[in-house]
Amino acid sequence: MESAISNRLGVSLPIVVDFQGTLARGVTQDLCLDSLSLLTDCASPVDTSVSVLFYFSRNVAYMPLTGRVAAVTEESGNPTTQFRIDIHLLPLGDIERQILESTFEELEIYLHSLGAPDSDERAAERARLVTSNPRSILSLFITDNPYHLPYRLSVGPDNRSRSSAQHIDSTPVQQAIQNTDSVPAPQASKMPPRHFSWSMAWQGFGLLTQVLRDLSIRFLPGSLARLFITPITFAFIGHPRILDDVPRKFPFAHFLPAHIVERWFRHQWPFVASYITGLTLANGSPTTGAMLISPLTTEQMIRNPRLARQRVLQTIRLAEKMGAKIAGLGAFTSIVTRDGRDLEGKVHLGLTTGNPHSAAIAVQNILQAAALTNLSLPHATVAIVGGAGSVGSACAKMLARLVASLLIIDIKKDALQNLVAQLANQPAVVEGATSLSRVREADIVIAATNNPHILLTADHLKPGAIVIDAAQPKNVSEEIPRQRPDVVVIESAVVQTPDVDVHFDLDLAPGEALGCLSETMILTAIGWTGHYSLGKADPSHAAHIIAAGRALGFRLARFRNSGGYVTDEHLLRIAQARTIE
């Protein structure tokens, strides 16, 4: 093995890169134990710190390394601009070094066999290395993401050796998470009690006063309105998903019959749910936003879309009177306004749907979950349910460059055919389908429809599948984590937002926010003016918003689903199962 250690090993292995939120595919040029070089169409600045993850065919669950970009050279003579990127790796730990030494030795034998004369012996040797090699490299993932995964998984030939986390930063919060198969996800606050008290009555009187104030503000001049309310710079437009969400703001609704609450919210005007504090502008000054409620449930919006659009527009008018310069359309408020298109020319502030950030977070969740479960993206099949929609089509456009096969599932046949045609020249084999039965073919499943009902159940999934629920309302059954411990379900679009407090119960931990809300906050912080994302999400917007969020310290939240936080053991179990022949 001396030659493989002392000399660079010239070999072309597939690579997925994530540089400043832009995703691309490439190949290695050469490898050795202290450096590597690659060729891709996505550049990274020299001296950038990067993480390098090798995917192995068997027996290695997770082995991230760190390094720095030493040189970037533009390559000529290609149809598109290509960059050769040289990376110097930091010194390896003993186990990492042993694994790579053994792997490089096997790769070198394999490369030598390619130049040997054709023979049965050569064919047998190549077959052994490709199909039986316990540590053959399938691909690499390289990212300049400035934070590391909050998981600590074993690495080594038997998956029982010490953790490779010597390269992983950790926080006291991460270290405090216990290694159990069911860790409840903390909530921002408890739901109101279901017993009546006089304090609740006084609270109800105060809330009535507030909503009357919010009604009057819409009809006052802006300068006068802001005398009666806290001025804001941004707003997020939300709505109750179901009637059970109403007590989050109005605790006394627990004691009202459902038909009364339904009628009440059908006629309720928009109101302020909470103020959002802790966001800092680019100049360092703090700013305040508000979460405003367009008071129709998802079902009410579906039954009466005209009224729903009217309520959304009224809510934006309230945001304008409060001083907001930009507003984000959350959940179904985006869908019912055709991703904001129906509001163009009717509002005076900037609008964004949050769809680019939602798509970017879904793909980032895939990158991290694949890393933690040893799934090589260049060899993976991805299914996107609702793939012709706004979030789904953006995910498809990003992933078509990275994966082996892409299955786009949608009931809108014309939009589906158009998207498949757009992606015809991408590296992935792209297919369109209208049946959910095809989902079982996929290693990765993204649910991103505008259907408010559960679509995916345990029977739809293959063993080892990674499931990303990027829909609001959710499309993935809450029973799957309990019924299928051999898959991992991740509720997407949750972001850690340091120092930001939404002051409202969204079933999130303190310091967390929904991705669509985070997009609005990021745009506010960087001083964006005008509309940002209307209509179908653009992958270029997704790359821009994820990079801007990283610069602000926004990061993916720890994986969670209906069973709580996803644990190290769960991910490692799937990684181990994936390596079994």
| Pairwise CA distance, residues 143 & 21, whole Å | 9
| Pairwise CA distance, residues 328 & 98, whole Å | 50
| Pairwise CA distance, residues 419 & 268, whole Å | 40
CATH (residue range 2-176): 2.40.10.220
Please tell me the number of Cα atoms within 13 Å of 166 on its side-chain side: 13
Strands 326-329 and 466-469: unpaired
20: left (phi over 0), alpha (psi -120 to 50) or beta: left
Q: Is the dihedral of CA 247, 251, 254, 258 positive or negative?
A: negative
CA torsion 490-26-154-366 (nearest 10°) is 0
Are 35 and 119 within 8 A, CB to CB? no
| Pairwise CA distance, residues 355 & 472, whole Å | 11
Cis peptide upstream of residue 427 (ω within 30 degrees of 0) = no
Model pLDDT for residues 201-221, shown as the tens digit of each residue: 777 788 889 999 999 998 888
CATH class label, 370-497+534-578: alpha beta
Model pLDDT for residues 315-325, shown as the tens digit of each residue: 999 999 999 99
The confidence score (pLDDT) of residue 131 equals 55
| Pairwise CA distance, residues 391 & 6, whole Å | 47
The confidence score (pLDDT) of residue 575 equals 87
Query: Is pTM, for the whole model, over 0.75?
Result: yes
What amino acid occupies position 549? G
Residues of CATH 3.40.50.720 domain(s) within the chain? 370-497+534-578
Strands 326-329 and 350-352: parallel
What amino acid occupies position 552? L
| Pairwise CA distance, residues 449 & 2, whole Å | 54
The confidence score (pLDDT) of residue 19 equals 94
Two tokens at 482?
């309990």
**Beta carbons within 10 angstroms of residue 483's beta carbon:** 13
What amino acid occupies position 213? R
Mean pLDDT, the chain cut into blocks of 10 residues (581 residues total): 57 92 92 93 93 83 87 80 93 87 82 69 63 69 79 57 33 31 49 60 83 90 82 96 93 92 96 96 93 96 96 96 95 93 96 95 94 92 96 96 96 95 94 95 94 92 95 89 95 88 89 91 96 93 94 90 91 81 44
Residues of CATH 2.40.10.220 domain(s) within the chain? 2-176
